[in-house]
Amino acid sequence: METCAQEGGCVTDYIAIAISILSMIVLLSRLLVPFLVHKVPRTKNSGFWIPIIHVFASFNLLLSTVVSVNFLKFKKRHWWQSCYVWAVWVEGPLGFGLLLSCRVTQAFQLYYIFVKRRLPPIRSYIFLPLILLPWIAGAAFIHMKKPLNNRCHMGTHWVFPAMLLHMLYVAALVGFTGAIRHIEFRFDELKDLWWGILFSASSIGVWVAAYILNEIHEEISWLQIASRFLLLIMASILVLALFSLSSSQPLHTQISLRRREPQEFETMGQALGIPDSGLLLQTEAVQVIDPNEPLDKLLLDKRFRQSFMAFADSCLAGESVHFYDEVHELGKLPVDDPVRRIYMARYIIDKYIVAGAAMEVNISHRSRQEILTTADLAHPSLFNNALNEVMQLMKTNLAKDYWSSMYFMKFKEEASMRSNGLELEQMTGLNFSPRLSSVHGADDPFHQEHFSKGSANDSHDSDTQ
């Protein structure tokens, strides 16, 4: 046992490695399933790259634990096998530090967006390296002082300051989460964060205890084996807890993976419960469209808006109409519901406003900055100036061509069919579908069948009498 404790290769070591590999497989599946199965669009914002960094940091933490704590029997012959590479740099700044920094960044974003009601003053790709600096400085200091022995262990006076840095980041995460505890989140981000903190704090507590025992009591063989087993197991639980039980994934991913909400939402409006979002009701009144009326008035009709949107998409210029549609949905939310308005506003900003967005609209720099630097994301007139500019573009570039397009012809034909169907329903009290309402008499392919059934029923009634 003594040789096994010093050089690695114990049965418990292989069990712990197998569990860590399984946890990484689960972690990768949690990352990839939303994009491969649920077809969540890949964006350039933090909702996409923070989960990627999270998985990268998790892999570094688990691999560095295996290499630096002597789980496997191998001789360190090359510089990249050095304790300072794995136990200091990979396990510290690139592992545990990066992992917790991702979660602190996410809590920082939620705090600014929902408490301050504005976009964070520091971009995520700047904030994350900034809060990682203490880990980098600590790793550089340890590398210069070189306190590690040949088994990658530090003395007591080095272990406790290192563990203090770990706990400091957990405290920062708890602090930011506590600051947003009064917000009633739509998708339970706060509850998920608290669960993530609870699981991760418990895992970190056991992990820290195992780390200290492994570092200090080198002479006790069974304690070395047990402590490093706990180190890897707790690290595996930690990476899964922080990813699965916190809102580290994109918002659409969370919506589609909710077990209590089996329905998958096609639009953010549907996810937020906006009335009639994305739906065309058969009971809606059929309105006569006059091309001479202003476009902004015509776009209030949902059927016309969808026809106009299809035409714009065919011209590869649909982002303006989609933007109008999303802002129109935002307008349905009451002003006294700031949380849902912020969700929708942030979604619109990420999709249409930020530079390089998936459907970036062509608006002036002034209007764009006015939105990005707003002091209130829930303000009712947040997108008014941008919407006016987009409306002018649609009038200039799309409206004239639409009136002579096949899309408008098809829209008029369908409107006429629906109008005839409604008239028949009012006259007969029967529920005709739009397709059958325009077919009468001998032109109806089902007319003979209906007539035969009717005749049969009549004859049956007469026989009964």
The DSSP annotation for 176-220 comes to HHHHTTT---TT-HHHHHHHHHHHHHHHHHHHHHHHHHHHH-TT-
Cβ burial of 189 (10 Å; 0-12, 13-18, 19+) is: buried
**Predicted pLDDT at 360:** 93
**Predicted pLDDT at 312:** 94
Residue 345: name the closest of 326, 363, 359, 364 by CA.
Answer: 326
Higher pLDDT, 434 or 383: 383
| Helices (runs of H) and strands (runs of E) counted in the chain | 21, 0
Cα(395)–Cα(387) distance, rounded to whole angstroms? 12
Answer yes or no: is pLDDT of 137 > 80. Answer: yes
The answer to whether the Cα torsion of 50, 55, 60, 62 is positive or negative is: positive
**Predicted pLDDT at 452:** 42
Answer yes or no: is pLDDT of 358 > 90. Answer: no
pLDDT confidence bin for 41, thresholds 50/70/90 = low
Per-residue pLDDT, averaged over 338-364, amounts to 90
Answer yes or no: is pLDDT of 94 > 60. Answer: yes
> pLDDT tens for residues 185-232?
666 666 666 776 777 677 777 877 887 787 777 777 788 888 888 889
Which stretch of DSSP H or E encloses residue 444? Answer: none
Q: What is the mean pLDDT of the chain?
A: 78
Cα(248)–Cα(101) distance, rounded to whole angstroms? 12
**Predicted pLDDT at 76:** 63
Residue 356 Rama label (left phi>0; alpha psi -120 to 50; beta) = left
**Predicted pLDDT at 179:** 81
> pLDDT tens for residues 240-271?
877 765 544 434 333 333 434 444 567 778 87
Higher pLDDT, 190 or 155: 155
Residue 359: name the closest of 322, 305, 398 by CA.
Answer: 322
Higher pLDDT, 342 or 272: 342
Q: Which of 126-135, 244-253, 324-333 has the lowest mean pLDDT?
A: 244-253
Cα(154)–Cα(87) distance, rounded to whole angstroms? 10
**Predicted pLDDT at 386:** 96
256, 266 in Cβ contact below 8 A? no
Around Cβ 329, how many Cβ atoms within 10 Å? 22
Cα(390)–Cα(396) distance, rounded to whole angstroms? 10
**Predicted pLDDT at 30:** 84
For residue 28, the one-letter residue type is L
Per-residue pLDDT, averaged over 79-84, amounts to 78
Answer yes or no: is pLDDT of 159 > 90. Answer: no
172, 104 in Cβ contact below 8 A? yes
- Backbone angles phi and psi of 184, in degrees to 5: -90, 85
In the 3-class helix/strand/coil scheme, how is 23-59 assigned residue by residue?
HHHHHHHHHHHHHHCCCCCCCCCHHHHHHHHHHHHHH
Cβ burial of 287 (10 Å; 0-12, 13-18, 19+) is: middle
**Predicted pLDDT at 344:** 92
Q: By percentage, how much of the chain surpasses pLDDT 90?
A: 30
**Predicted pLDDT at 87:** 87
- Helix runs in 395-446, H state only: 400-403, 406-428, 434-437
Q: Which of the residue ranges 347-351, 367-371, 417-421, 424-428 has the most confident prediction, judged by mean pLDDT?
A: 367-371
**Predicted pLDDT at 453:** 40
E strands along 214-359, which residues?
Answer: none
Higher pLDDT, 145 or 254: 145
Per-residue pLDDT, averaged over 7-16, amounts to 83
